[in-house]
């Protein structure tokens, strides 16, 4: 299959159409060997040495993600955190990095509590404002600008193209966490990003049954090779079975993301003026601060994630979550099932999430059923 001549839906559904040459199987085998035979003359002509650095179970999944993002190379990791931190670990002590104030809380905590200890200069800024980025960047010293868009849990939108231009003018790389958008709705590499990251546990896997991460590069350059070395030497690689599950999940990626995105839009519009809701945070709403930028850099929808702020504060939000029946009270996103959580309780001190905020991950259930369940939950929470 030539990725340049078919639509991405076909690439995902057939996983590039690869066939196992030995068995002619349409579904790939699971390779579990940790080591590979050396040739009699002491060479490794197969290209395989040890599974921590290179595993044939990675090949097809990495090729599919590379094609969907229109990059040049991909690397699978044991988790989204392993993927994200590998980018920062490929930098050098003393390097200055910019990251958003609103971002995945585990990575933000890692940056402030670990990355700074081994020498990175980390600065958190309002990444939604290009003027703030331009003022904060240090030409020659800033080596990486990290963007998350839409950004968890406020769904803040960053202009990827504008930020890429600022970063590159200063000699910095731009990396984009595009987990929430997925390749279905946004392709950051085409907008100027150097690396795109996905917590593949979420939409790429799509079934809440694996932990995985992936990076895709626009260019297979020296920095990318350092990232590859970090993966091999620190051992943050994915297991063979998880690689199989990820590849299986990606076959339905476009169906799932489009369904979730359409339902999220409907849910956001329904509750935007609701008597028990203070505000709805969703890029697909015209009144949302980043709506116009999202329209430019996202296509086919605005994603399956939104947040509602319950009228009545923290107590009302927690009470609403307690009353749902169809929605599940659980952490994570991007699965087939719809999830709700009180995000401030999860993130703790320093969270940008207001105390009245409920984060919603919309699955592939009937949108009307999801709306009705939230309606009854809000009604019960408000007496």
Domains of the chain in start order, with CATH, are 8-250 (3.40.640.10), 255-381 (3.90.1150.10)
202 is catalytic: yes
177 is catalytic: yes
Per-residue confidence (pLDDT) for residue 77, from 0 to 100 = 98
DSSP letter for each residue of 222-267: HHHHHHHHHHHHHT-PPPHHHHHHHHHHHTTHHHHHHHHHHHHHHH
50 is catalytic: no
Catalytic one of 108, 143, 173, 202: 202
254 is catalytic: no
Q: What is the pLDDT of residues 300-358, one digit of tens each?
A: 999 999 999 999 999 999 999 999 999 999 999 999 999 999 999 999 888 999 999 99
Percentage of the chain beyond pLDDT 70 is 100
Asked if residues 175 and 87 have their Cβ atoms less than 8 Å apart, the reply is yes
Catalytic one of 36, 48, 52, 311: 52
Average pLDDT of the residues in 266-285: 98
Q: What is the pLDDT of residues 143-175, one digit of tens each?
A: 999 999 999 999 999 999 999 999 999 999 999
Catalytic one of 54, 95, 104, 218: 104
pLDDT-based confidence at residue 129 (cuts at 50, 70, 90): very high
Q: Which residues of 331-358 are buried (b: 16+ CB within 10 A; e: fewer)?
A: eebbbebbbbbbbbeebeeebbbbbbbb
The pTM score is 0.96
Quick check: 258 pLDDT over 90? yes
> Residue 180 and residue 17: Cα distance in Å, rounded?
26
> Residue 115 and residue 108: Cα distance in Å, rounded?
10
Catalytic one of 54, 95, 159, 177: 177
Quick check: 83 pLDDT over 90? yes
Q: What is the pLDDT of residues 261-273, one digit of tens each?
A: 999 999 999 999 9
Q: What is the pLDDT of residues 16-71, one digit of tens each?
A: 999 988 889 999 999 899 998 899 998 888 788 888 888 899 999 999 999 999 99
Per-residue confidence (pLDDT) for residue 320, from 0 to 100 = 98
pLDDT-based confidence at residue 14 (cuts at 50, 70, 90): very high
pLDDT-based confidence at residue 4 (cuts at 50, 70, 90): confident
């Amino acid at each position: 299959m030539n990725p340049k001549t078919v639509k991405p839906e076909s690439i995902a559904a057939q996983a590039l159409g690869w066939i196992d040459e030995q068995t002619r199987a349409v579904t790939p085998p699971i390779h579990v060997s940790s080591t590979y035979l050396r040739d009699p003359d002491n060479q490794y002509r197969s290209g395989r040495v040890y599974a921590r650095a290179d595993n044939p179970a990675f090949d097809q999944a990495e090729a599919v993600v590379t094609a969907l993002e229109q990059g040049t190379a991909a690397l699978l990791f044991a988790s989204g955190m392993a993927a994200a931190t590998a980018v920062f670990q490929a930098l050098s002590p003393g390097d200055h990095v910019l990251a958003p104030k609103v971002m995945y809380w585990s990575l933000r905590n890692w940056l402030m509590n670990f990355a700074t200890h081994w020498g990175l200069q980390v600065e958190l800024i309002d990444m939604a404002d290009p003027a703030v980025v331009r003022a904060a960047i240090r030409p020659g010293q800033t080596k990486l600008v990290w963007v998350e868009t839409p950004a968890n849990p406020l769904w803040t939108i960053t202009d990827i193209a504008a930020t890429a231009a600022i970063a590159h003018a200063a000699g910095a790389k731009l990396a984009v966490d595009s987990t929430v958008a997925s390749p279905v709705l946004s392709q950051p590499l085409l907008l100027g990003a150097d690396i795109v990251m996905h917590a593949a546990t979420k939409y790429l896997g799509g079934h809440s049954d694996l932990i995985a991460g992936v990076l895709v590069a626009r260019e297979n350059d020296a920095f990318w090779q350092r990232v590859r070395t970090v993966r091999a030497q620190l051992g943050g690689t994915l297991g063979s079975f998880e690689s199989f599950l990820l590849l299986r999940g990606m076959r339905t990626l476009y169906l799932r993301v489009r369904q979730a995105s359409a339902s999220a839009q409907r849910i956001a519009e329904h509750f935007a003026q609701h008597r028990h809701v203070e505000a709805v945070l969703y890029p697909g709403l015209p009144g949302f601060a980043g709506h116009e930028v999202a329209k430019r850099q996202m296509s086919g929808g605005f994603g399956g994630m939104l947040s509602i702020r319950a009228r009545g504060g923290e107590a009302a939000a927690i009470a609403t979550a307690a009353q749902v029946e169809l929605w599940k009270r659980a952490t994570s996103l991007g699965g087939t099932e719809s999830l709700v959580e009180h995000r401030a309780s999860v993130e703790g001190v320093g969270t940008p999430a207001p105390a009245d905020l409920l984060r919603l991950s919309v699955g592939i259930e009937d949108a009307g059923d999801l709306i009705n369940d939230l309606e009854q939950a809000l009604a019960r929470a408000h007496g």
